[in-house]
Amino acid sequence: MASNKLQKYQTHLPDWVQDWLDVIVPALHIVLIVVVAWLVQRLLRKLLNGMAERYSLPHALLVPAIGVIRWLIFSAALLLVLERLGVSATVLWSAFTGFATVGAVAFFAAWSVLSNLFCALLIFTVGPFRVGDTIELLDTAEKPGAKGRVIDINLLYTTLEDFNSPSGQSLLQIPNALVFQRVLRRWREGDPGAPVAPSAAPATAPAKLPRPYQVRAQHK
């Protein structure tokens, strides 16, 4: 009904105005689509920043999430703009299915990396352990495994100070996905019952060799 009223009003306008309306109206639609897409991504960015402050999420985890959301929003806006420009819906659907297929193949190819990224998000939000805690990953409740103090958590690995090392100076890098596939034993930072890293054995100085005897030649 709105389109019928618009066409009724257009009949009373001069011809040159009607010609310009065919250009101005789609241009206004395109501007409106771009502005709405920009506002939506700004709103979602503020929501993610608030979530990051609430759950103490690292900046390295927030940046790719914001990038993916921005890419999805502006991709949808681009499809709407192309539709307003007169591109066929069949062409748009073919392009969308092609991009979706490529994205699905890339998703399965990078599944191990993406699983570590998702598990990093769970570690920061759920908080099964924190930096400074001592943890032990067990295959079963009785079988010992990797044990150490958490010194760093990034998007792919959790780094431990290895307690099973004789010197106590080696590090373990455990994929984040493995943390959720094993039994986890945890000691909070400052717990008096937490294991302690073995102290490095002091380096022993090499034994001094006795000076060689000077054999004096006997002169006849």
181 and 101 belong to one structural domain = no
Q: What's the confidence (pLDDT) of residue 216?
A: 47
Q: Letter for the amino acid at 144?
A: P
Q: What's the confidence (pLDDT) of residue 38?
A: 92
12 and 103 belong to one structural domain = yes
Q: What's the confidence (pLDDT) of residue 220?
A: 46
Q: How many structural domains are present in the chain?
A: 2
CATH number at residue 147: 2.30.30
Q: State which H helix or E strand residue 157 sits in.
A: strand 157-162
DSSP secondary structure letters along 44-74? HHHHHHHHHHHHT--HHHHHHHHHHHHHHHH
CATH number at residue 33: 1.10.287
Q: What's the confidence (pLDDT) of residue 5?
A: 55
**Global confidence as pTM:** 0.53
Q: State which H helix or E strand residue 172 sits in.
A: strand 171-175
Mean pLDDT per segment of 10 residues, for the chain of length 220 residues?
54 61 80 93 89 75 80 86 80 78 76 83 85 85 78 89 76 89 84 69 50 48
Q: What's the confidence (pLDDT) of residue 215?
A: 46
18 and 101 belong to one structural domain = yes
- 89 CB-near residues (< 8 Å, 6+ apart): 83
Distances (CA, A) of 10 to 6, 19, 84, 85, 86: 6, 10, 20, 21, 21
Q: What's the confidence (pLDDT) of residue 54?
A: 80
For 93, list phi and psi in degrees, rounded to 5: -65, -40
104 and 133 belong to one structural domain = no
Q: What's the confidence (pLDDT) of residue 163?
A: 82
Torsion sign over Cα 183, 188, 193, 198: positive
DSSP secondary structure letters along 189-200? TT-TTS--PPPP
Report if residue 43 sits inside a domain: yes
